[in-house]
Amino acid sequence: MAGEILWIYAIPIVLIHCLALAALLPQLFSWTGLVVMILGVHVFGQGINIGYHRLLTHRSFESPRWVEYAFVVLALCCLQDTPARWVANHRHHHKHSDTEPDPHSPLVHFFWSHVGWLLLRNTGIHTLSGYQASVPDLIADPFYLRLEKNPTLVFWVYLAHAVLFFFAGMIAGALLAGPDADRLAAALQMGLSLLVWGVFVRTVVVWHITWSVNSLSHMFGYRNYDTGEESRNNWLVALLTVGEGWHNNHHHDPASASNQHRWWELDISYYEIKALGLLGLAQRILPPRHVRQRRPATQATAS
């Protein structure tokens, strides 16, 4: 039913935000937890930026299947939906950007584009037939089809990685405890610190960074191109997302693996994809259209 609250999304979003508030407890702060959180925002966030977005949604480059699946696992640890659903939503956004069928247009209001659209059922996309129409390439893959038929697997992956963070913290806390310290207490403190900061806080930060592309980058910033919708290049979002915030550039040329169209529009994600290419883990990396147009077709596709 249209307008129905999607509790399968609403409950985790509220719950993880509440759990992240435990970071306000001084007993759970550690510099290790803070550093792990900051590093995790980038590492796990690239599961979304590079994996879900540039690889699966736009096929901006190719990679061995195991590399693709590794990015997907990182994305699942961000609790941002199954690959098919995420990709379907984003392809739908590009097809209907800033019009009524757009899943998350800020023309409704900021809160809607940022997170509100996730909380209500959209019959146009929240059905298996809707996904099949938008992501036939993913549904044809048994790995993605299994995730789609068993979406609770996302929660099990998330829970498993949270448990790993907790026990890794406990081991680190026990090993780093001083000779006169209570090793069990030190282990529990570090385990909980890594769980709260390295998992819950990091998840919330990655959520809001990702959501800001849908909201802030369609409301504030400058435009290099007239793309027929409201996409903007937002330097703050670009900094937080290591390149995704050059959103007007992306809407102008969504197939490109790079959103950097001016020398100062730094796109770290693109350079990381190029690094994967140097390691033989990425092929057919598509540069921006203005670069492709200056190259012979064979050279552009082989980049």
- pLDDT by residue for the chain (303 residues), tens only, comes to 456 888 889 999 999 999 999 999 999 999 999 999 999 999 999 999 999 999 999 999 999 999 999 999 999 999 999 999 999 999 988 888 888 788 888 888 899 999 998 988 766 665 666 667 789 899 999 999 999 989 899 999 999 999 999 999 999 999 988 777 788 999 999 999 999 999 999 999 999 999 999 999 999 999 999 999 999 999 999 999 999 999 999 999 999 999 999 999 999 999 999 999 999 999 999 999 888 877 665 454 444
> Are the C-beta atoms of residues 14 and 5 closer than 8 Å to each other?
no
d(CA 254, CA 53): 10
Tell me how crowded residue 237 is: count the other CB atoms within 10 A of its CB: 24
39 located within any domain? yes
Within 8 A by CB and 6+ apart from 227, the residues are: 97, 248, 251, 252
Residue 52's pLDDT is 98
216 located within any domain? yes
This prediction's pTM: 0.92
d(CA 28, CA 25): 6
d(CA 269, CA 239): 11
d(CA 241, CA 267): 9
C-alpha distances out from residue 284 to 67, 211, 226, Å: 15, 29, 28
250 located within any domain? no
d(CA 92, CA 295): 31
Residue 302's pLDDT is 45
242 located within any domain? no
d(CA 290, CA 253): 9
Residue 124's pLDDT is 60
Within 8 A by CB and 6+ apart from 206, the residues are: 41, 44, 45, 48, 78, 80
Task: Extract the tokens encoding 95.
Answer: 């097809």
- DSSP conformation class of 106: T
How far does Cα 170 stand from its chain's mean position? 28
Range of the domain at 50: 7-224
Residue 1's pLDDT is 43
263 located within any domain? no
92 located within any domain? yes
185 located within any domain? yes
CA nearest 139: which of 51, 254, 56, 232? Answer: 56
Domain count, the chain: 1
188 located within any domain? yes
Q: Which residue has the tokens 């730094």?
A: 266
Residue 123's pLDDT is 63
Phi-psi label, residue 79: left if phi above 0, alpha if psi -120 to 50, beta otherwise = left
C-alpha distances out from residue 56 to 66, 258, 267, Å: 13, 15, 18
Burial group, residue 213, by CB count within 10 angstroms (0-12, 13-18, 19+): buried
Amino acid type, 250: H
